[in-house]
Structure 1
Amino acid sequence: MQLTILGCSGSVGAPGNPASGYLISVDDAPSVVMDLGPGTFANLQVHQDPTDAHVVFSHLHADHCLDFPSLMVWRRFHPDAPSKGRNLCIGPAHTPVHLGRLSSDDPDGVDDMSDTFAFSPWSERQTEILDRVRITPYRVAHPVETYAMRVEETGGTGSFCYSGDTGVSTNLVEAARGVDYFFCEAGWGPTSEGRPEGMHLSGADAGRAAREAGVKTLVLVHIQPWADVEATVAAARAEFDGEIVLGQAGMVFDA
């Protein structure tokens, strides 16, 4: 099982690093795209046929989903290689309406995705099986319905956890327990002191969560372009003595 970062900039895209999107690849099965923020669809095309993938969403803030209408155009209207059938789409309960409004021709309408995606809503800690990939969602602390995702390969031993966007959360630690790679947001930069609760983590918070979960490698993501990146990494390192990687678009991780 392999994870490729399509983009991991926090809140907005950065030069050379789009907003949030991750590609899970396994042998002999469709891939899984986790989040599809602005700019990530272009990078998805670099790695594979965009129609050969299921799509799952941690939540539906703009920086995590705005390239979905572009994927719909490709799947429906590509002159040579449109989608040959339906894939799965899993996300918060209101996903079909929220994303349907983004791609509708009618300002008050909702584009029906059911011609090309079969949608199911997340249910707390209920594992979803997408061919050879198993994803278990854990509700985390954010202003909208949001899930961290624990990702495992059926028959394999590797594991990933993607935090989505979240404040400090015991569910996040549970989701990440013992994983090989923990892709954890650090949207507040080095510290969350003076920041609103239930929204984002700092580098220190991410490092603490990684330590409490006993992960092997912490990959810091969702850091805004204006943040002090070196200080954010240093704050995580003060809390976690395992391997720490600063996530960037194009990085590939094998588990």
Structure 2
Amino acid sequence: MKAVLLGSGGWIPTATRETCCLYLRKGSDVLFLDAGTGLRHAVEQQDLLAGAGSVHILLSHFHLDHVVGLGYLPALQLPEKVLLWGPGQSLYGDSTRAILARLLDPPFFTAGVDALATDVAELAEGTNECGAFAVLARRQSRHSEPTFAFRVDDQVVYCSDTAADDENAVFAKGCSILFHEAWTAEGTRNADIHTSARQAGRIARRAEVDRLVLVHVNPLPTEGSLEAAARAEFECAIVGNDLLAIEVG
């Protein structure tokens, strides 16, 4: 499985970081975790979708920095089968289609949400079969709105938009790569809804993962402070950068 971090930042895109989007590919099946502004890199690098038979886009929640890239989908060379998965019913009691329509139907987006995908599907808490990928979704309640953490094929775990949660160490146990948000280095700013780099390192250590990649990076702290804080708890930690590519397994 190939992983490419298309968007490593959170909230505000910068000159060097787009917002959250992780690309995974296994054979002809492509999976995107979140669809922030980082999805634009797939527009520029069309080889990511060359030969793809299906594309699955999974949304952890509906904050704008995680969904705004859906508007870029018409610019991609997509296969006939494109499924958009969201946590509408599971986390918010409303359909994903209805929630996204508030953002992606006219007058905000001329094409409308139904033009973006073959189907809009609901993510369940627990197991989801998304093409060739087996995806576990776990509810994270420690945020301004609940979000999903994802575990893909027992190899890749993605935890964004959550305060430090010991249950994520259990969820990520033994995985190859943990992509975990790091909103601050060690401070308590927004600690009720976001995780610090040191806390992410502690979760990675407890989970006994192989590698930790810090994502959803706040545009304000320095990268050095984030990496140092995480490595104080877990040595194999790096700050993720846009277009970081990793072979998994």
**TM-score band (shorter)?**
0.7 to 0.9
AA in 2 matched with 1:43: H
Deviation at 1:175, TM superposition (A): 2.1
1:88 to 83, 102, 108: 83
Instruction: Kindly indicate whether the alpha-carbon contact (under 8 Å) linking 1:148 and 1:161 is maintained by their aligned counterparts in 2.
Output: yes
With over 3 angstroms needed to count, the CA separation of the structure-2 counterparts of 1:135 and 1:213, relative to structure 1, is same
State the secondary structure of the residue aligned to 1:48.
helix
Q: What aligned pairs does 1:36-115 form with structure 2 within 5 A after superposition?
A: 36-38=35-37, 40-45=38-43, 46=45, 47-49=47-49, 52-71=54-73, 73-74=74-75, 85-93=80-88, 94-106=95-107, 111-113=112-114
Gap regions ≥5 residues in structure 2: 89-94
AA in 1 matched with 2:119: A
Cross-structure match for 2:19: 19
Gap regions ≥5 residues in structure 1: 76-80, 153-157
- So what's the TM-score if we normalise by structure 1? 0.84
Instruction: Kindly indicate whether the alpha-carbon contact (under 8 Å) linking 2:185 and 2:198 is maintained by their aligned counterparts in 1.
Output: yes
The answer to whether 1:135 aligns with 2:130 is no
Deviation at 1:114, TM superposition (A): 7.4
2:175 to 166, 175, 179: 179
1:214 to 208, 211, 216: 208
Cross-structure match for 2:164: 168
AA in 1 matched with 2:199: D
Between the aligned residues of both structures, percent identity stands at 25
Q: For residues 203-226 of structure 1, what are the alpha-carbon distances to aligned partners after superposition, in whole Å with 9 as ceiling and x for unaligned?
A: 111011101111111111111121
Cross-structure match for 2:123: 122
Deviation at 1:168, TM superposition (A): 1.5
Deviation at 1:112, TM superposition (A): 4.7
- So what's the TM-score if we normalise by structure 2? 0.86
Q: For residues 156-211 of structure 1, what are the alpha-carbon distances to aligned partners after superposition, in whole Å with 9 as ceiling and x for unaligned?
A: xx711110211111332222111111111001x11242x34441100111011101
Q: State the number of aligned residues.
A: 237
Question: What do you get for the CA RMSD once the two structures are aligned?
Answer: 2.4
